[in-house]
């Protein structure tokens, strides 16, 4: 697959998953994760990234600003058996045009409007990704599990698992 095709596949898998767990390294070298809402609303092109709005006091923002900018983004949609892990480099932006583009009513709950001086955008530049996508439907998957329980021979569900270099 080309890089463009890889990004298209990635976007297809995560576009309906609004929430991600973002992991970063703390100043004491521990791994910390927190849930954040993905703000991308259009198709992911080669030059697009994954965007999140956060406060200037957020632990992720502080880690990125301190040079600990390697991030892990985890997306899951268990109802469709889709699981995606993205390795990214984080950057912090205060670009007003970008904030205007990403602003939404949910952000109002966390800030005093989009002109709040604490508003920041986390720009996660995807470097690589890995995904697991079970392609069996739920009934087939269940039948394989039941068959394995009865016969003692496990049968793996049909699935797609791939690592993407971006």
CA triple 140-144-148, angle to 5 deg: 170
| β partners of residue 77 | 82
CATH architecture for segment(s) 3-134+161-165: Roll (2.30)
Where helices occur in the chain by DSSP H, the ranges are 3-14, 59-65, 96-102, 138-151
Residue from 75, 128, 71, 124 nearest 102 by CA: 124
How far is residue 119 CA from its own chain's centroid? Answer: 20
CB 44 within 8 Å of CB 118: no
CB 88 within 8 Å of CB 103: no
Please report, for the chain, the start and end positions of each structural domain, with discontinuous segments joined by +: 3-134+161-165
Q: What is the pLDDT of residue 157?
A: 64
Tens digit of each residue's pLDDT, the chain (166 residues) = 788 888 888 888 898 898 999 999 999 999 999 999 998 866 555 457 899 999 999 999 999 999 999 999 999 999 888 999 999 999 999 999 999 989 988 888 899 999 999 999 999 999 999 999 887 565 655 665 666 677 777 766 667 888 988 8
Query: To which residue do tokens 């809402």 refer?
Result: 37
- How many Å apart are CA 28 and CA 17, to the nearest integer? 31
| Furthest CA-CA distance within the chain | 63
Structure tokens at 20: 């991600």
- Inter-CA distances, 87 with 35, 43, 125, 156, Å: 16, 19, 8, 27
């Amino acid at each position: 697959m080309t890089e463009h095709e890889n990004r298209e596949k990635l976007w297809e898998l995560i576009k309906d998953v609004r929430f991600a767990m973002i992991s970063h390294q703390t100043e004491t070298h521990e791994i910390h994760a927190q849930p954040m809402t993905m703000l991308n609303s259009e198709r992911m092109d080669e030059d697009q990234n994954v965007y999140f709005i956060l406060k200037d006091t957020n632990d992720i923002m502080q880690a990125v600003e301190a040079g600990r900018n390697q991030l892990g983004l985890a997306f899951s949609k268990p109802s469709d058996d889709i699981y995606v892990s993205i390795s990214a480099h984080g950057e912090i932006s205060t670009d007003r045009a970008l904030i205007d583009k990403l602003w939404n009513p949910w952000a109002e709950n966390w800030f005093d409007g989009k002109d709040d001086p604490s508003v920041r955008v986390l720009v996660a530049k995807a470097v690589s990704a890995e995904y697991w996508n079970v392609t069996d439907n739920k009934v087939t998957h269940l039948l394989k599990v039941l068959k394995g329980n009865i016969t003692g021979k496990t049968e793996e569900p049909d699935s797609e698992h791939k690592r993407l270099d971006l």
